Amino acid sequence: MKLSGKSARSDALIGRMNLSEKLGQISMLADGLVETGPPGPHNPFNMIVDGRVGSLLNVWGAHLVREAQRKAVEESRLGVPLFFGLDVVHGHKSIHPVPIGEAGSFDRQLWEATARDSAIEAMADGVHMTFAPMIDVARDPRWGRIVETAGEDPLVNAEFGRARVRGYQAPDAQGLMRLAACAKHFCAYGAVLSGRDYAEADISWRALEEIYLPPFRACVDEGVAAIMPAFVDVAGVAMTAHKRLLRDMLRARWRFDGLIVSDYNAIAELINHGVAADLAEAAALALNAGVDIDMMSDAYFNGLPIALARGLVSMDDVDMAVRRVLNFKEQLGLFDDPYRNMAHKTAKSATSKPLAPERRALSRQAAQSSIVLLKNADGFLPLKAPRMLAVLGPLADSPNDQLGPWASAGAGEDAVTFVAGLRETFAQTDVRYAKGAPFEGRDEVDLEAARKTLAGADAIILCIGESRLMSGEAVSRTRPEVPEGQLELARTALESGAPVILAINSGRPLILPDWLVEGAQAILAAWHAGTEAGPALAQILSGACNPSARLAITWPRVTGQAPIFYGIRPTGRPHDPQNGWSTGFSDAPFDPRWSFGQGLSYTRFTRANLRVDRDTLGLDDLVSVSVDVTNAGVCDGVETVFLFSRDPVAQVTRPMLELHDFTKVALRQGETRTVVFVVKARDLCYLDEDRKPRLDDGAMQFHIGASARPADLDRIDVTIAQG
């Protein structure tokens, strides 16, 4: 969006506004339908009439939105409409899998489709902006917000972000953007120290340039409407006040002309960061760095008048922020129709309706595409006509928990649980259920009930992991493990001798004990897969759906391996289990439990004929890297193919693998297809010590295959020769 330009309507309004009305436009306040930060002292509804607020968050639905909007346009002096924001992160009413799960579908079309559906639902509820996509590259499972990300890889986050922006912002019937996207959190929030939420991110410029900034650049190029700075400081500079990154990089170099919306209370928190003495200084720092909207901290409203008096900010800069907000409202069509697109034409008709069947179908497809099969010993799955199934665990029949954190307006009563899904799918089977253990603590562990339920079962489906409250914002965990009470239940299940299918529900990679991984017959990462998680899992277990998801994030074996990811740099003493003087750990293996990209299918794929169409490349050349993929197994299936590169000799140490592209290929049993990736030599450049892109003559490796695990990759080399 281009928001800084002149507009007759905006300029006329600015001309008529007093200071308080101007500051109102650039203040966003929260109502309390959901709590996403410390409650403020305000009652925002009462402030609308005074022009004291320009946008609201955490309010949706015809009744509330209409009433708030009516006050703004009919009762405030200038009648400027409000806009409404909400965290529509993985669905609005129809909830799709949490992003860390859906990222593992590696399906750009799906990422876009689920965003478009969320936009349709949210828009009908009066929402104009979603605080999504969240594209913080994250590599530490201790960090609770890893659940909201597309995982550890910059390219995956970039592609996920692009698809989400396209989906949310797709035009409606009038050609207007449905839901404005706000990419967050700019930047490096995923690098917080020890995975501790809100902590500092003390990272190098190289990490910023190579890992944390590219997803944001991609969203800006895709036309994202807004950006939210992160709560954190990067190398000592608080992001909410980061002139170099916000003004010089985002605005000037990348030409981003949309809105910059602060995070919740983040401007006032500059005082806690120790970079502002009072609210006036905090407000001045944020405004001067380019932040247009103050979310929830009152710093603009109460601090800017003082900052103006002290000469810390200029009225021109205030006016520019106001202009952007007004132009945004104008471009959304809110001046022409403040109630645009709301499904309910009157406040009274705001009854909740059943979810549209096509939205449910998409949620189910998304869940099926996100549940990762990690182990399937002896081809135990799919289940073959079981007579009796025992379902155990606190996540088996907990509709709210399967929706996961940040579930927007998702309602538990719309969700179909695993128990319900299994009963529907295995209609001829006796499906029994006992919870057996609570999420946390041991008080309600009931192993007797579990033993009774599993007696005589052909298989046990063990649904354990995290409740929705165990991941998300401010839920960092030093031990991202399955809690002890649930492990007792798991031991009981394994001791019974019946085959155990472990369905892990979580918002992060969980640490699993070796005995559980070895003892389970099959293991699936089911994440928090949303409204239709139950039927989706049941259909995977029955074989009606052949799993195709992969991990978008490495799963460690022990917490002490974190942060852990595939794109590490080589050391002078590469890991060698036979050599005590090599990199690694003395008390744990070096390799993860499961690598980025891992995930099984009920069929088997082979690769052959890896080739390039040229073996020498200049800087402006393109090269095609091709491989034939065959479905050599027992049923139809979908394979994901990753293309990595490695620069073995450069001026600086380069990562062991860098992802360049990925694709999915659907193959019938016995079918072969050629997968072709086209790579620009220029994209193989790295930044030298002067931060200039550079490519050295010599060998360049391509690694192509099913995951980042060395055993899953084939290699072919080309020569860079720039003449």
Q: In the complex, which residues of this chain contact ligand BGC (CB under 6 A)?
A: 36-37, 57, 87, 131, 184, 263-264, 473
**CB-nearer residue toward ligand BGC: 37 or 519:** 37
Considering only CA atoms, which of 278, 303, 231, 296 is closest in space to residue 41? 296
Are β-strands 237-238 and 233-234 bridged in parallel, bridged antiparallel, or unpaired?
antiparallel
CB of 131 to ligand BGC, least distance (A): 3
Distance CA 312, CA 486 (A): 56
> Among the options 107, 136, 263, 397, which is catalytic?
263
Q: Which residues contact 170 (CB under 8 A, 6 or more apart)?
A: 116, 119, 177, 178
Q: How far is CA 668 from each of CA 368, 651, 674, 705, rounded to the nearest angstrom? A: 18, 45, 14, 19
CB of 36 to ligand BGC, least distance (A): 3
Yes or no: say if 693 and 620 are a contact pair by the CB < 8 Å rule: no
**CB-nearer residue toward ligand BGC: 184 or 528:** 184
**CB-nearer residue toward ligand BGC: 143 or 642:** 143
Distance CA 599, CA 188 (A): 28
Cis peptide before 344 (omega within 30 of 0): no
CB of 296 to ligand BGC, least distance (A): 8
CB of 56 to ligand BGC, least distance (A): 11
Between vectors from CA 492 to CA 490 and to CA 498, what angle results, nearest 5°?
A: 90
> 549: which strand partners?
none
Q: Residue 500 belongs to what H/E stretch? A: strand 500-505
Q: How far is CA 18 from each of CA 9, 25, 68, 77, 648, rounded to the nearest angstrom? A: 16, 11, 22, 11, 62
Altogether, the residues listed in the chain come to a count of 723
Tokens of 124: 């009908």
Cis peptide before 187 (omega within 30 of 0): yes
Yes or no: say if 222 and 213 are a contact pair by the CB < 8 Å rule: no
**CB-nearer residue toward ligand BGC: 107 or 263:** 263
**CB-nearer residue toward ligand BGC: 87 or 481:** 87
What's 233-287 look like in SS3? Answer: EECCEEHHHCHHHHHHHHHHHCCCCCEEECCCCCCCCHHHHCCCCCHHHHHHHHH
Tokens of 111: 């990422």
Phi, psi at 653, each rounded to 5°: -70, 125
Distance CA 644, CA 105 (A): 18
Burial class (CB in 10 A: 0-12, 13-18, 19+), 621: middle
Tokens of 335: 């001046």
Rg over CA atoms, the chain? 26
**CB-nearer residue toward ligand BGC: 114 or 265:** 265
The crossing angle, in degrees rounded to 10, of helices 357-368 and 108-124 is 150
CB of 115 to ligand BGC, least distance (A): 16
Tokens of 377: 């010993």
CB of 289 to ligand BGC, least distance (A): 18
Yes or no: say if 183 and 219 are a contact pair by the CB < 8 Å rule: yes
**CB-nearer residue toward ligand BGC: 35 or 689:** 35
**CB-nearer residue toward ligand BGC: 240 or 506:** 240
E-only strand ranges, 615-671: 616-617, 622-631, 637-646, 658-667
Distance CA 421, CA 209 (A): 45
CB of 388 to ligand BGC, least distance (A): 45
**CB-nearer residue toward ligand BGC: 37 or 438:** 37
CB of 145 to ligand BGC, least distance (A): 8
CB of 506 to ligand BGC, least distance (A): 20
DSSP letters, 65-118, are: HHHHHHIIIIISSS-PPPEEEE--SSBSSSB---HHHHGGG--HHHHHHHHHHH
CB of 376 to ligand BGC, least distance (A): 37
**CB-nearer residue toward ligand BGC: 37 or 412:** 37
**CB-nearer residue toward ligand BGC: 271 or 447:** 271
Q: Is 248 designated active site?
A: no
**CB-nearer residue toward ligand BGC: 289 or 536:** 289
DSSP letters, 480-495, are: -B--HHHHHHHHHHHH
Quick count: other Cβ atoms within 10 Å of Cβ 588? 13
CB of 264 to ligand BGC, least distance (A): 4
CB of 358 to ligand BGC, least distance (A): 28
Q: Report long-range pairs for 656-659 (Cβ below 8 Å, ≥24 apart).
A: 656/566, 656/567, 656/568, 656/569, 656/570, 657/566, 657/567, 657/703, 657/708, 658/567, 659/153, 659/154, 659/155, 659/156, 659/567
**Would you please indicate which residues are annotated as catalytic (active-site) residues?**
263
